[in-house]
Amino acid sequence: MNRTHPVERTGASGGDPIVVARGLRKVFPGPVKDDPVIAVDDVSFELYPNECLAIVGESGSGKTTVARMLVGLETVTEGELSVRGESRAKGVKHLADRRRWAREVQYVFQDPYSSLNGRQRVGEIVATSVALHAGRGATRTEARGRAREILDSVGLGERFVDKFPHQLSGGQRQRVAIARALAADPAVIVLDEAVAALDVSIQAQILNLLADIRAEREVSYLFISHDLAVVNQISDRMIVMEQGRVVDRGRTAELLADPVHPYTRSLRAAVPRPGWKPVRRERLAVQATA
């Protein structure tokens, strides 16, 4: 079997990181006054050109908040967050900046049902994105034509162009969401649990599609997931988050083959696999450290 060596991949592209996060912190006002919730605490990482970095963690670990801060859906409480040297920590004010940001980082949401406008046709959804980023002079027809090409490249042929999202399956919808992201020709695509809501058979297709996209063009993924098997399949490096903090990081293959940190061990120990038996949480930790 042809295994990909992440070392080679990041090594080959090298260069300066596209995304740099330093001491990132996010505090939400809590349900009770003067009792804030620290969602993200002192998180640092770099995302290099043409690599896939996974952020792994359980619910409430803050992994999605990190991703949302990167694209400006959440403000940054403290710390530095920059894309290609330009800080994003202050948030975005002007429409022109927002559009420029969109050409750098795109986002694919978990739920392909609610992340597409149910009243827009598939072709229109992608064409809207194309028109926003194609620069001046692109006519409506050109945008449509380009949208068709992009849809075709994610495996949705001509017959899907005039369909509405509700006429599509979950996997097809997620392809539309990916096509919309590709329309901006971004350097980074954030995939926020993008395959978590899909059936196993569909999940495999989307994971392959994501690999194909990376084979064809230079793009980095920030892959947010709780699923270690999926992360193992797609990512080169990973960071592990627990309760807002990064507890472990390294090359995905090495980290999963021989986890050292107790939390990573217990996460790995909880994944069902051949010969596995469910164990209680207390024993999971014990088993993991043993």
Partner 1 sequence: MTTPSTMSLAVARVRDRRRATGFARRTADRLGVVGCIAATILLVIALAAAFAPLVAPYDPDYPDLLASLSGPSPAHLLGTDALGRDILSRLIWGSRITLAGPGLVIVIATVVGTLLALLAAWRGGRTDTAVAWVLDILFAVPGIVFALIAVAIWGPSLATVVGGLAIAYVPYVARVVRGASLRERRMPYVSAAWLQGQSGTGITFTQILPNVQPIVVAQAVSSLGFAVIELAAVSFLGLGVQPPTADLGLMVKSGFDSVLRGHPAEAIAAGTLIVLIVWCVTVIGDRLTSSARSMR
Partner 2 sequence: MTEPLLRLDDVRATLRLRGGEQTLLDGVSLTIGEGESLGLVGESGSGKSLTTRAITRMLDPAFRVTGEIAFDGASVLSMNPAALRRYRSRDVGMIFQDPRAHVNPVHRVGDFLTESLVRDRGVDRREAERRAVVLLDEVGVRNPEQRLRQYPHELSGGLLQRVMIASVLLAEPRLILADEPTTALDVTAQSDVMAILEEQRRARGLALLFITHDLELAAACCDRLAVMYAGQIVEQGEHVYEAPSHPYTIELLGARPSIDERVDRLPVLRYDRATHELLKAEAS
Closest approach of partner 2 to the CB of residue 143, in Å: 31
Residues 161-220 that bind partner 2 (CB under 8 A): 170, 199-201, 203-205, 207-208, 211
Q: Which two structure tokens, joined as six digits, stand for 175?
A: 């392809």
3-state class of 105 per DSSP?
Answer: strand
Does 286 participate in binding partner 2 (rule CB under 8 A)? no
Cα–Cα distance between 226 and 206 in angstroms, integer?
17
- DSSP, residue by residue, 196-231: TTS-HHHHHHHHHHHHHHHHHS--EEEEEES-HHHH
Q: How far is CA 31 from CA 36, 119, 175, 270, in A?
A: 8, 35, 37, 31
Residue with tokens 């329309």: 183
Q: Is 33 in the site for partner 2 (CB under 8 A)?
A: no
Q: Draw the binding track, 208-247, toward partner 1 (x: CB under 8 A; -: no contact).
A: ----------------------------------------
User: What does 52 bind: partner 1, partner 2, none (CB cut-off 5 to 8 Å by kind)?
Assistant: none
- Interface with partner 2 in residues 95-154 (CB under 8 A): none
- CB 267 within 8 Å of CB 243: no
CA distance 18 to 50: 10
Contact residues for 14 (Cβ-Cβ < 8 A; gap 6+): 48
Q: Which two tokens stand for residue 14?
A: 């090298």
Question: Is position 73 an interface residue for partner 2 (rule: CB under 8 A)?
Answer: no
By a kind-dependent CB cut-off of 5 to 8 A, residue 278 interacts, out of partner 2, partner 1, none, with partner 2
Dihedral angle of Cα 81, 86, 88, 93, to the nearest 10 degrees: 170
> Please, which of residues 171-210 interact with partner 1 by CB under 8 A?
177, 180, 184, 196-198
Tell whether residue 8 is a contact of partner 2 (CB under 8 A). Answer: no
The answer to whether residue 4 forms part of the interface with partner 2 (CB under 8 A) is: yes
At residue 75, φ and ψ (nearest 5 deg) are -80, 160
Question: Total binding residues for partner 2 by CB under 8 A?
Answer: 43
Interaction of residue 132 with partner 1, rule CB under 8 A: yes
Angle value at C-alpha 153, between 149 and 156, nearest 5 degrees: 85
For position 115 contacting partner 1 by CB under 8 A, the verdict is: yes
* 93 contact choice in partner 1, partner 2, none (CB below 5 to 8 Å, kind-dependent): none
Q: Among residue numbers 8 through 47, which ones bind partner 1 (CB under 8 A)?
A: none
Rounded distance between C-alpha atoms, residue 290 and residue 284, angstroms: 10
DSSP state at residue 158: G
Please give the residues from 75 up to 104 whose contact with partner 1 meets the rule CB under 8 A: 95, 98-103
User: Is residue 50 at the binding interface for partner 1, with CB under 8 A as the rule?
Assistant: no
Assess 5 for contact with partner 1 (CB under 8 A): no
- List of residues contacting partner 2 (CB under 8 A): 1-4, 58-59, 170, 199-201, 203-205, 207-208, 211, 226, 228-230, 232-234, 253, 256-257, 266-274, 276-281, 283-284
- List of residues contacting partner 1 (CB under 8 A): 71-73, 95, 98-103, 106-107, 109, 111, 114-120, 128-129, 132-133, 166-167, 177, 180, 184, 196-198
